[in-house]
Each structure stands twice: as structure tokens, then as C-alpha cells.
Amino acid sequence: MGNPERQQQPRFVLVTGTDTGVGKTITTAALAVWHRRAGRRVAVVKPSQTGVGPGEPGDVDVVRRLADVEHGYELLRLPEPLAPESAALRSGAVLPPVAELAERTAAAAVASGADVLLVEGAGGVAVRLDRDGGTVLQVGKALRAYGPVEVVVVARAGLGTLNHAALSVAAVRTAGLHAVGVVIGAWPAVPDLAATVNREDLPRITGLALVAAIPAGAGALPPEQFRHRAPSWFAVP
């Protein structure tokens, strides 16, 4: 993919979550639309994709379809719907170390000419991506050699999210990474009391801005509608 040190430094945005199934992929697609609307060239990388068989569309394909992103890269695929380390142990696959994942991610930025490279993690912040315990946060730390790194934390709307979000943001900060905001990955059409209060309390509890609340079911929108509506979901200009 080329030498990442020869190109002007891209901006890396890690999209991680408080758990699995919180809406990271749809958030990544919405962020791609938002950055493209601002005139930035965007690419997306999924370091570890699990739960998808050969020839089946993965998370990168969802982002490319919804956000009309030309350049998408999936670095590793394991078919069982488990954490990457667990899936690899069961299959006998050899996981690349996070330093290699970071190097290949940076190389993708060069190959795509991206100003912003969105990196979608697997599960939450502590999910292991290699057999040495490396996580998406370690990928982020390694990426700092190639450009500035920001972290977006995707959270649920409902009860329990304040605790999960606070722990996740604390882990990001402990890793020495810059968390820029929280996104509610699936905002219900009819929010209950817990969701309504959580939306108000997430900034206070985490110390981060709530940058977006993405409507539940947004991923089922036709791509043209998704791209038209996505900018309105963000609370920042």
C-alpha cells in the first residue's frame, strides 16, 4: 500500500463502543457522511471482522454502501461471531499484533489518499485483537506515529449506559488517547425515562460532548436518505 511516512499525516478517528451491538458501524457510516460533507476525503478500516463468512458483506461494506465511501479495508476476517482473540483460538488462526494492524491501517490512509481514516473497533475498548492482549486502544496508540488520533465512544441509550460509558471513556484516557465525544448509536423513536435522562447526563458523567444521537433503524434507510439525513444527527457544526 505504500510507505505511510511519505504522505502528509492523515487524521485517524477510532470508533469504539461500550459493548458490542451498540451501533459502531452505523456511527462510522454517519461520521463518514459528516466528514465528507465538510469536504474531507474519507476512508474506513475494520482491523478485525468476526461473525461474517467468506463472500458475505462485512461492516466495511455497510459503511461503503450507506456513506458512498470509495475506499474501505478489512484487515482480518474470522467467521465465528466472537471476540477476535476467542474466534482465532477456536479456528487456529494467527492474529497479527496490533503494531502490524496499525501499520496496515496507516498504509491504507496512504493508498486511499484520505484526510480522515475512520477505524471501527470490535466490541468494546477491552476486547482483545491479538494474543498479547492488544486492543483497539493499543492500535490507536501505535497510530500516533502516523498522525493525530481521536476516539469516539458509541454508547447505548438505555439503563446502564452511564456506567458503561464512564468506564469506557476512562479506559481511553488511561491509554493516553484523546476522546472527542460520545455518540448514542441507536436513539429510540419513543425514548423512555432512562434514555431521556441518560441523554442529558452522558456529558456530565463522561466529561465529553454528546456529538450525535443516531435514530434507531437508521442503517435500514436507503443510502440516499441516509446520506441526506446523517448530518442532522450531529450536535456539532
| Domain residue limits, the chain | 4-233
The catalytic residue among 24, 35, 36, 46 is 46
Q: What pLDDT score was predicted for residue 144?
A: 95
CATH T-level fold of 4-233: Rossmann fold (3.40.50)
**Residue 4 clears pLDDT 90, i.e. is over it:** no
From residue 121, give the alpha-carbon distance in Å to each of 38, 128, 197, 224, 232. Answer: 24, 10, 27, 26, 24
Q: What pLDDT score was predicted for residue 74?
A: 96
Mean pLDDT, to the nearest integer, of 123-133?
91
Taking the whole predicted model, whether its pTM rises above 0.85 is answered as yes
- Other CB atoms within 10 A of residue 201 CB: 14
**Residue 34 clears pLDDT 60, i.e. is over it:** yes
- As a whole-number percent, the residues of the chain with pLDDT over 70 amount to 96
Catalytic residue check, 46: yes
From residue 69, give the alpha-carbon distance in Å to each of 23, 31, 61, 136, 223. Answer: 18, 11, 9, 22, 11
**Rounded Cα distance, 36 and 115, in Å:** 10
